[in-house]
Structure 1
Amino acid sequence: MGLSAALGKASRKKATSPVISAKELNNTANADKELLFFNRVPKVGSQTTMHLLNILSRKNHFFFHKDKPNRVEAIKLSDREEDYETCVQSHDKECQYLDGEVRDDYGQLTEFFCGQNDECTGFNEDFPLQQAKQNVEKNYAVVGILEDMNKTLTVLEHYIPRFFKGVKDIYYEEIAQFTKLNRNIYKPSVEKKVKDIVRLNFTRELEFYEFCRQRLHLQYQALNLV
């Protein structure tokens, strides 16, 4: 059952309970193998997740494999130094984020979830957004949200118990350790007005984020834990 169908059902039967069930929103029933893939989206807590999976593999008796880091050619930085806020406010090319632009950074999650199609590469375009949504519904059991870590861990534990049984206890018992993993303490803060300028060009990226967040909320709500 897709997200749109679940929302439609919810709107027609607002007064009834339960409106949705975890079984309807859990696509792991379609899997024919006990195989878990964690797609490492850049800068979304992957170090914490990999550490969790390593511990869980011993507790839940599954084989954990992590690919070795790929060696890449070091990029020599320009002698010119400029902070991000200045880059945005001075309208420098690398900080403009123009619609349809093909970027070589990790600024667009829609491209990551869209796939390898050439049409997936245009920044803030509609095709990558819609294809990314379809792929999430069809191919991803859970897409977590760092800002909703408790919901993410709860959904993982209930929807994929074979691998994530006990994940909340492990996370919160060792939370002091997890919060230190791969954190950049030298990362400068960015003023709200600069963030607001950037958000104007990230409309479809933000829509995809809200889509994933709503999907996670529906999965959590369907568990009827409250």
Structure 2
Amino acid sequence: MMKNYSNSPRNKNQTLNHTRDRNNKKSNGLSATLLRFSLRDYGFCMATLFLFCFGSLFYQLNGGPPKILLEIRQYLGVFGKSHWPNRMAWRHSVHRDRQGKASHLAFKKENKGDSTFIDDHGPPAPKVLPFPSQVVYNRVGKCGSRTVVLLLRILAERHQFNLVSSDIHNKTRLTKHEQVDLMRNISNIPQPFLYTRHVHFLNFTRFRIEQPVYINIIRDPINRFLSNYFFRRFGDWRGEQNHLVRTPGMKDDERYLDINVCILENYPECSNPRLFYIIPYFCGQHPQCRDPGLWALERAKQNVLENFLLVGILEELEDVLLLLERLLPHFFTDVLSIYKSPDYRKMGNMTGTVRKHTPTLEALQVLYQRMRYEYDFYTFIRDQFHLMKKKIGLRSVSRPTHQPNFLLNLALKTQEPLEEEEEEEEQELEEDIEDANSWLVQP
């Protein structure tokens, strides 16, 4: 009779041990398999990370991805567009101004998977703007402004800056609303720009708008008055019809009015308010700037010192052009060579006023007395201009201006300085020449 060991305690223990061993072997095998897969996945991840880092470094060093990646991307883009619906991705490019601040966002749509210049090479480098990049030439009438504008048209095309020349010639004083509108329009011109118009000085900072750099040119006040007087009547060498633009409907008795009669008999055109013309261009839009007096004179001088890079004198125009080329090379490089070229001379000679003649000495003396504030300002500008030339070390190509004899006789006599005062002035001038204008850009 055979014994049944299946129910015995010993057999039960052996069976349990055998089952436990088999389970342990399965567990060990599964653990080894999982460990083997984990190491492989870990190695794959590390290799992928290494390739990504290497590719990123290669991308940055070479300014873009390698050709093979572009081909793969293009392939994936074509494949993706043919098998899946198009997905639209929004991109934006930020245009920054010269302070590095975002000025506007321009959004555009593009298909996902397409290769673009921005994706492959990054955003384009911001355009380096010259300093200053905003220039306003509030040109004074009959002070060579048409000559300079002709030069600016040639220079703008050559040096690729924006030249905006206003066609408004008879509105120099503006209301507050008109001032704000004009200043905002000027500020919105793409930089670098040069804006020119017959307009009295505009104070941009008063309305919290960035102030541009001003330049201008003036001339001897009596010469300016004479040029304007005859131009209104007879135009220039381009044709006598030009005066019709400035003085429509002028009657013959007024057109052929003798200038000596106009001055000596106090015609409105030759009286004090009409002769106070240059200073308001530098004083500004304040109503008191229109009244001949010390307040407007001093304010004009202050604005010149604070807001004008250069105010030249027409009598030394070639030196003015040289200084503009030195101070603003990105606008005025080669301006003097253009001015002296035969082609420009042929055009520039057409802007001269015709039928102009000099009044009598008596009339000139009356004019000078009426224009004493204008001459005070002109002398101030001339001295500042000559000082600027000395500071920069500019060798003059123009003849220095001299006052007519009758003006020298009329001028107030001043006491000659003592020798000590002369030495102090010379020493101060030498120090100014050494220290000032170290920021100027050499041409």
What is the TM-score with the length of structure 1 in the denominator? Answer: 0.74
The residue that corresponds to 1:39 in the other structure is 138
The residue that corresponds to 2:264 in the other structure is 89
Percent identity for Structure 1 against Structure 2: 29
Amino acid at match of 2:250: L
Distance 1:160 1:126 in 2: 32
Q: Which has the higher helix share?
A: 2
Distance 2:341 2:275 in 1: 32
CA-to-aligned-CA distance 1:25-47 (integer Å, 9 cap, x gap)? xxxxxx97512211121111111
The residue that corresponds to 2:385 in the other structure is 216
The Cα of 1:107 is off from its aligned counterpart by 4.1
Q: 2:156 aligns with which of 57, 64, 67?
A: 57
Q: 2:301 aligns with which of 128, 133, 153?
A: 133
Q: How many pairs align?
A: 189
Return 5+ residue gaps in structure 1 as ranges: 1-30, 98-102
Q: 1:159 aligns with which of 304, 327, 341?
A: 327
Distance 1:106 1:172 in 2: 33
Q: 2:339 aligns with which of 161, 171, 193?
A: 171
Q: Is the 8 A contact 1:88 1:96 kept in 2?
A: yes
Superposed CA RMSD: 2.5
Amino acid at match of 2:368: R
Q: Is the 8 A contact 1:157 1:164 kept in 2?
A: yes
Q: Secondary structure at the match of 1:77?
A: coil
Q: Is the 8 A contact 2:276 2:371 kept in 1?
A: no
Q: 1:111 aligns with which of 276, 280, 300?
A: 280
Amino acid at match of 2:298: Q
Question: Of the two structures, which has the highest relative contact order with CA contacts closer than 8 Å and spacing of 6 or more?
Answer: 1
CA-to-aligned-CA distance 1:177-196 (integer Å, 9 cap, x gap)? 25424222123432333112
Q: Secondary structure at the match of 1:151?
A: helix
The residue that corresponds to 2:312 in the other structure is 144
The answer to whether structure 1 residue 187 and structure 2 residue 375 are counterparts is no
CA-to-aligned-CA distance 1:174-224 (integer Å, 9 cap, x gap)? 452254242221234323331122101111110101111111111111121
Q: Secondary structure at the match of 1:116?
A: coil
Return 5+ residue gaps in structure 2 as ranges: 1-129, 171-244, 396-443
Amino acid at match of 1:110: I
Distance 2:286 2:168 in 1: 25
What is the TM-score with the length of structure 2 in the denominator? Answer: 0.39
Distance 2:246 2:278 in 1: 24
Distance 1:68 1:91 in 2: 32
Q: Secondary structure at the match of 2:135?
A: coil
The residue that corresponds to 1:10 in the other structure is none
Q: 1:204 aligns with which of 358, 364, 373?
A: 373
Distance 1:132 1:210 in 2: 13
**Residues 1:148 and 1:79: Cα distance change in structure 2 (over 3 Å):** closer
Q: Secondary structure at the match of 1:184?
A: coil
Amino acid at match of 2:355: Y
Q: Secondary structure at the match of 1:185?
A: coil
Amino acid at match of 2:297: L
**Residues 1:201 and 1:194: Cα distance change in structure 2 (over 3 Å):** same
Q: Is the 8 A contact 2:294 2:373 kept in 1?
A: yes
The Cα of 1:129 is off from its aligned counterpart by 0.4
The answer to whether structure 1 residue 68 and structure 2 residue 237 are counterparts is no
Q: Is the 8 A contact 2:156 2:331 kept in 1?
A: yes
